[in-house]
Amino acid sequence: MRSIISSPVLKSDVSERNGSRFSVLVIRKPMQPVLDSRTRTAPAVGVPELQHCVDWLQCYFMKPESVSALPLPTLHNPLMQSDSFKAHVLWTLFKEVGLGKTVSYKLLADMIGNPKAVRAVGSAMKNNPIPLIVPCHRVLHSSGGSGSYMGGKGDDIKVWLLTHEKKHWSSMHQRDEGGASLGRSPQSVV
């Protein structure tokens, strides 16, 4: 099963194989002014978990004020089922760095209990098999710089995603948690 989601800045190819593996492939689109913020989706049929993932991504782009009410998609990917360093980093990011929050590579290394693994954390972000769902775009340099996305080929997409989240979730996050945030606020980087 497979679904293509087209958003203002990228296309996402959400697919599963044999009911056991999910992947989200970000397909680069040329950056253009966002005139039409509607998201178009080819329907996914038959796999409820895949449909939930598609629905979550559609909501993220089309109705961002509503996405935080949805449960996060299930992570059906062999990497996420493993006991590897990369899986630990990605699970921590997935569970701890929510909408409107950012974290530095250094702080994420600290969060997994391995403060010297900053470069390895960066490598895990670069090789994330489920971007957008496991939000590697929310990981920044300690200096506040946005860092790379998609191996440096999607840096403008990362900035767009951070701006999108800042616009819709930073103020909500500050209201809900009294202004406390994990890592740096997207407001300080973009």
Active-site annotation, residues:
136
Task: Tell me which DSSP letter residue 136 carries.
Answer: G
Q: E strands of the chain, at which residues?
A: 2-6, 10-17, 21-28, 40-41, 103-104, 139-140
Residue given tokens 């005139």 in the structure block: 35
The answer to whether 146 and 155 have CB atoms below 8 angstroms apart is: yes
DSSP string, 62-90: H-HHHHTTSPPPP---HHHHS-SHHHHHH
How many whole angstroms from its chain centre is CA 134?
5
DSSP state of 22: E
Helices (H) and strands (E) in the chain, counts: 8, 6
Question: Token pair of 177, please?
Answer: 């948690």
